[in-house]
Structure 1
């Protein structure tokens, strides 16, 4: 079950993980993009840490506070998508005190649809959306007592394996076409680092 207490405890762990993963994500992004993915998430994490004092005591409030912090961090494409995802989660959680595993799956469906509409990516383009979709499918079919985070982590890793030998079809990486075959999408790796730390 996800409630405000669990989410509030997760935010500092997420921030620490993004600080630690920044060099790796910059290096991965340097092969396919602007080499700034790690720096973007590192800055997002710093601003979220600054927002931790006085964090709201509701799921909606925490997600929106984190979205506001992320929005100040960067105009990069991934930073914008992170902000949109957090804002979408906040709106989805309005009036809810907690989310079950099935509720989180429904939230992810909404996030995926919103990000696809905003960024133009589709499932199968080898982006973070494919990792989110893998998590959504794993959680939607899970039993109520299933270990949701373990399922999410396994789903992201399986998604990375499934897409590694496919070309990127979105963002700057699409310009490298077949040269992206055999390389992990940096956004999907970032998602894995996020899930693993939670």
Structure 2
């Protein structure tokens, strides 16, 4: 016969897995060809399942016609209203801003559900340079992992090689690794989901 303490104690199972991530292309007729590779790269660094969402979100409400840019905070609000429990990474082709900055590569809710990322300033064409698909894919993966890192509770890192290091310019993205430093990896492992 089991004691009262054994009956009342909840069963101790394995730790809960980290919630999955869904990539949500916004403003695209269909998911861009690079989403599968991006999902693989995110999963490799952050762990967990990474899927691709087919939800249709509108860019129109976030457009600031005077700036010719999309308000990242407005897009983030629409994104996190989607049903589910996964972390969401919205991806747009247009240029993003937040009211206090001229542009941002992305924006996230710290330890929240959503993050948004723009491919616009990750493309060499914006700087008058020749296309480089390999460089674009690396920049995209680094910024996606960076913004999702914020959603999982990570803050900016002082290690310039860490993907969580803040980047104001695309050259700074190019200099950092597509991985977390050991300190950020440890914080992510201990982060509440």
Q: Under TM normalisation by the shorter chain, which class is it?
A: 0.3 to 0.5
Which of the pair is proportionally richer in strand? Answer: 2
- Name which one, 1 or 2, has greater alpha-carbon Rg: 2
> Structure with the greater relative contact order (CA < 8 A, sep ≥ 6): 1 or 2?
1
Which of the pair is proportionally richer in helix? Answer: 1
